[in-house]
Amino acid sequence: MAARALGAGCKIGYCATAQVYHSHNYTFKQQYKRNFDVAVFMETYKDEIKCDGTTGEGIRMVLFIEKKLLKQFKIGAAVHCIFDSAAKFLATGPEESGRGRMHSTDKIAILMATYNGEKYICQQIDSILSQTCKDWELYIHDDGSTDNTIAAVESYVEKYPDKIHLIDGKSTGGAKYNFFYLFGQVEAPYYMTCDQDDVWLDKKIELTCDKMLTIENKADVPCLVYTELRVVDSELNTIADTMSGYQSLDCHKRTINQFILQNSVTGCTMMVNMALRDKMLHITDIDNTIMHDWWAALVAAQFGKTAFIDEPTILYRQHGDNSLGALGINKLSYIVRRVWQKKQIQESMRLGRLQAREFAKTYNLPADSLAVRYAALEGKSRLVRQRFYKENDMYKTGTMRRLGQAVWG
């Protein structure tokens, strides 16, 4: 690190009055953290320092030292050596532990899934670079683009090698698979997911992170924060001041009852902590999920906390190439289409029940849990389904959605 600093033009200074307390008298917890940090460094820079795993040699060394200490009747030292070595082993793990994952040196890992996004991706990345909060790294995985998306990304990687990373990997087959793949590739305290065609307002990360810190009183509690959006057209002209108003969403209804039936979390606004990321990745079959953000909302509502910021932090761009986007639910064209979409509404409800079944199976939820009982509605009569909705106060928001649920749901 010192050599890199000097190479970058930095100068050396000496302070004679500075004092440093240096000790190796660590507690078990301190030793764990120390060796974990060392392991992260060695994994991150293994190509530069040519360091391979040494677990086998380490075990032989520990056994050799233990025999020596026991022969000398130094029981206390032998016990300390065992605990010290256990801390190192747990922190670095066996050979496969942590291998293949990137470790973010900053607090927030931004995950961007791309596919044929050359038209708008530079605006998106520039808006991230302009954030007031700089404690982030951007990780991008492309899903087999046939345009110049990768070339555009590589130009940023070359310019900002410490902040922007292109993750190699084969095509995953769609946005939700790509985001789940990204979650599994990066280690960080916090994660944000990012589309390739929006514009982040300059305080997006700062506001979201501040909110996260207010609800996350324990690191092992899954937490999710999401925000309002401003809906814009391809030229960033405002279509609607808020996504919730445009789509008739109630983002203040965040119970598990609501999230099982309807998702109000837009992935490109959300931040999740590591506890939620870890819990999300327990999933057994991604095919049975609808989207990564909906799955995150379910996990947070069932096992942790959610929070909503009632302020737009993003310009949510709508254009002809969007694979997913916002629909004006109160527009006449939408209403006319939905009136005759019996099959589409029924399929949407069926996929929701399939996702609930996957959720219940993944987390081994009890038979009386809401997810299990909702999934069991598959194949039941309309009367049984409607009674269930009423008993559990499960209604979609928006007049047209509520009508579709009542008639076809």
CB 113 within 8 A of CB 196: yes
- Last residue in a domain, options 317, 344, 366: 317
- Last residue in a domain, options 289, 317, 345: 317
Rounded distance, CA 2 to CA 394, Å? Answer: 59
Q: Is 241 found in the same domain as 206?
A: yes
Question: Is residue 99 assigned to a domain?
Answer: no
pLDDT at 93: 46
Question: Is residue 264 assigned to a domain?
Answer: yes
For 200, how many CA atoms within 13 A lie in the half-sphere containing its CB?
A: 31
150: CATH? 3.90.550.10
Residue 51, pLDDT above cutoff 90: no
Q: How many domains does the chain have?
A: 3
CB 267 within 8 A of CB 292: yes
Q: DSSP letter at 323?
A: S
For 81-94, write each residue's pLDDT tens digit.
666 666 555 544 44
Residue 334, pLDDT above cutoff 90: no
Q: By C-alpha distance, which of 118, 182, 128, 181 is closest to 153?
A: 118
Q: Is 196 found in the same domain as 84?
A: no
| Arithmetic mean of pLDDT over the chain | 83
Residue 3, pLDDT above cutoff 90: no
Q: Is 69 found in the same domain as 179?
A: no
Q: Is 242 found in the same domain as 170?
A: yes
Tokens 């399929």 belong to 347
- Last residue in a domain, options 253, 288, 317: 317
Domain span holding position 43: 22-92
Q: Is 294 found in the same domain as 246?
A: yes
pLDDT at 218: 83
Higher pLDDT, 269 or 68: 269
* Averaged pLDDT, 54-65: 54
For the chain, the farthest-separated pair of C-alpha atoms sits apart, in whole angstroms, at: 87
Q: Is 153 found in the same domain as 57?
A: no
Question: Is residue 7 assigned to a domain?
Answer: no
How confident is residue 308, by pLDDT bands cut at 50, 70 and 90?
very high
How confident is residue 185, by pLDDT bands cut at 50, 70 and 90?
very high
Pairing of strands 186-187, 136-142: unpaired
Q: Is 155 found in the same domain as 235?
A: yes
Q: DSSP letter at 167?
A: P
Rounded distance, CA 145 to CA 136, Å? Answer: 25
